Structure 1
Amino acid sequence: MYVNHEVFNDADRHAAALRGWDQHYDQLGSGVFQSTVKQVAVEGVQVFQEAANVRVVQRGELPAGHTTFGLALGGSGPFSFRGVKLDQDAMVITSGAKEFMLHSPAGMSLVGIAIDPSVLRMVADAAGIDVEDNLFERDVIDIPRAAGVRVGRRMVEAVERALARPDQLADPQGERRFAQEVAEGILDLITYHVPDQTNRLTHACQSDIVRRSHDLLLQRPEDPVSILDLCSALRVSRRTIQNSFQSIAQTNPATYLRSIRLMQVRRLLLTTHPNEVPVSEAAARWGFTHLGHFASDYKTQFGELPSQTTRRP
């Protein structure tokens, strides 16, 4: 695990701060260089957010043995990656130790992600494509702007949480949760380039997918299943799972599974004394580790805070 946040006033020091990257930055814009690099690395995944106030050109070699993704978060103009325009309607997606040149505008902010072959396979399997698909070699692909903004924000928030609470990544389970969140963000965007074949499924098949997902959740209460877990266990694509839940329960899988976990906590609170099972313990038993978020979700679901739920005398 590696978690770090640094501020720089020199382009070369900024470039050297990114672990595993062989590159250098040349400042093109005028003025005192000011930048930040925030990065998190766990087993199989590296995520970084970088920002700089002046125009720079980045040149170097992509990390060997990894597939690299990039999202432009903002700037005074578009980026250019390996000769292709890059803005919030596009995503970098390329693999191997390729040479690259990235022109970044003044006020630039971007998210970069590098994943190893095991995580790539997990993403590809969940998308229903082969790891050798040329999708992973296109350099830049088009994506819906709203989706790019949403996933970019999700990656930034994941990095910020890790910076605020690095202890949450101190065990394999925490690292796995972080890696899966990143992988799910990538999956969300590449799905737009994968043909939809879920219309071949019958209502009964979709219902079975929802039932098995529900059962899997109940089997491991303290370690909530992710979408990638479901894809792996049920051997179906993310889109198949998404469409099945939408068809059967008229909601997305994340909302459905969270609702079931919240109901299990409520059931536990209603049947136990506060001294026997405190609210925090009841929440933890069903995988809610952030009490603030849990309380908010609980109130949204049931119209009251968990502390207001009637307990057994």
Structure 2
Amino acid sequence: MTGTLPGLGWSVTEPAGMHHLVSLAQGPQRDSLGRDGQLYIEESSDVCQQARSITAWQQLYDQLKPGQFQGSLAETWLDGIQCFEEHTSHALRQSCMVWPGSVWVGIPASSEHFARIGTTTIEADTVAIRGGGLEFELGTPDNFQIMGLVLARSELESYTSILQGESLHLDNTMVLHVGAERMRKFTHFMRAMLQVAGNGSGQLLEQVCRKQLRHELLEGFIDLIDDARPNRQNIRRVESAWQAVAKTREFVLDRSGEPTSIVELCEYLGMSRRTLQNIFHQTLDICPLAYLKAIRLNAVRRELLAPYSQYDSVQQAAAALGFWHMSQFSQDFKKLFGELPSASLARRSIVSAISNRSL
């Protein structure tokens, strides 16, 4: 059984959620979603739609490279445990937050190019772990796949306490080396679970099957991270470089009513133009000016799509982010997103309908 699943946790009433995340008061109740054992598939050709597709999260995606975006999400629930696989075609900078009291586990299913959480690389044989209720940043490359598992922190700690004789110590953000064979075994198990959820047999609609699968999933995850080694890659130089990139985005969006120059950015970050250029080429393989423009274009896109935006026209939204040459703006917008800004604005009513269903 398949269907479309809107992202229940994404803010649709607060303008503060358009370019920044807002704190979640609570997560979904264990039995309130009514979607257990079914597979929900969301296909998207829009980066903003992709960010909203996952249930009960808050996310903002910034597309950094030009071209028509394609994304997909396959998701199922097992009595309070969320399992999914996501594919994204283009390199993204993501702001993410899962519900309070939970733990998210990110399992890369792409081996050619690495992602990062904060300043730490998520390699092919590592898993990322992040506590709920706190914003974190993901950087993902082109053509990226990731599997996700979200569960109550208390339940995970209880399981590990019983199985291992001691509670699992989880930092708010961890990247653990688990080994290629363990990774292969666990990703195969999760894909089999998603396939069964979507094959129409109805097996996972039976409570006893879901209960058995939950036990196997939790035990499999504990086996996955047993004796795992923390990733110690946080070299100070790399860490400070990614911090500069993150600060650049916030500087631009916090001053959305004012233009941002490279001079102002260098002064704000306390570094030379050459250092700034080196940082962006090393981390994102683009120049600072291209990054600044991409962040502003993504912000305009969200304004055009958001039902609660204060801007009713393309020109108003573009001007608010400092775009003064409308012809060049339209060209840059289409190059990055694959459609004209007027087409994005025309789809606002569609996005509004999807958002209203998620309330």
Q: TM-score range by the shorter chain?
A: 0.5 to 0.7
1:64-103 counterparts in 2 under 5 A? 64-74=100-110, 76-103=112-139
| Structure 2 CA distance for partners of 1:64 and 1:18, relative to 1, 3 Å | same
Higher relative contact order (CA 8 A, sep 6+): 2
The CA deviation at 1:65 is: 1.1
Matches of 1:187 and 1:91 in 2, distance apart? 12
- Counterpart position of 1:150: 185
Taking structure 2 as the reference length, what is the TM-score of the superposition?
0.50
Q: Given the alignment, which residue of 208, 211, 215 partners 1:180? A: 215
- Counterpart position of 1:163: 198
SS, match of residue 114 in structure 1: strand
Is the Cα contact below 8 Å between 1:75 and 1:107 reproduced in 2?
no
1:1-313 counterparts in 2 under 5 A? 1=36, 2-74=38-110, 76-117=112-153, 119-131=155-167, 133-135=168-170, 137-165=172-200, 167-193=202-228
- Structure 1 letter corresponding to 2:190: M
Q: What CA RMSD, in Å, does the superposition of the two structures yield over aligned residues? A: 2.0
| Offset from partner CA, 1:23-48 (integer Å, 9 cap, x none) | 11111122111111000012120001
| Offset from partner CA, 1:97-150 (integer Å, 9 cap, x none) | 12111011111001010011453145313541544x434544211111221122
Matches of 2:90 and 2:142 in 1, distance apart? 4
| Structure 2 CA distance for partners of 1:7 and 1:177, relative to 1, 3 Å | same
- Structure 1 letter corresponding to 2:142: A
Is the Cα contact below 8 Å between 1:62 and 1:68 reproduced in 2?
yes
- Structure 1 letter corresponding to 2:197: A
SS, match of residue 181 in structure 1: helix
Identical-pair percentage? 21
Higher helix share: 1
The CA deviation at 1:60 is: 2.4
Matches of 2:61 and 2:118 in 1, distance apart? 15
The CA deviation at 1:176 is: 1.0
SS, match of residue 18 in structure 1: coil
- Structure 1 letter corresponding to 2:177: D
The number of residues matched between the two structures is 193
- Counterpart position of 2:30: none
The CA deviation at 1:193 is: 3.7
Post-superposition, which runs of at least 4 consecutive aligned residues in structure 1 deviate over 4 A?
none
| Structure 2 CA distance for partners of 1:75 and 1:104, relative to 1, 3 Å | farther
| Structure 2 CA distance for partners of 1:164 and 1:182, relative to 1, 3 Å | same
- Structure 1 letter corresponding to 2:148: G
Matches of 2:113 and 2:163 in 1, distance apart? 32
- Structure 2 letter corresponding to 1:81: I
Matches of 1:104 and 1:17 in 2, distance apart? 17
- Structure 2 letter corresponding to 1:85: T
- Structure 1 letter corresponding to 2:115: F
Gaps of 5+ in 2: 1-35, 230-359
Is the Cα contact below 8 Å between 1:62 and 1:100 reproduced in 2?
no
Gaps of 5+ in 1: 195-313
Is the Cα contact below 8 Å between 2:96 and 2:138 reproduced in 1?
no
Is the Cα contact below 8 Å between 2:85 and 2:148 reproduced in 1?
yes
Matches of 1:126 and 1:152 in 2, distance apart? 24
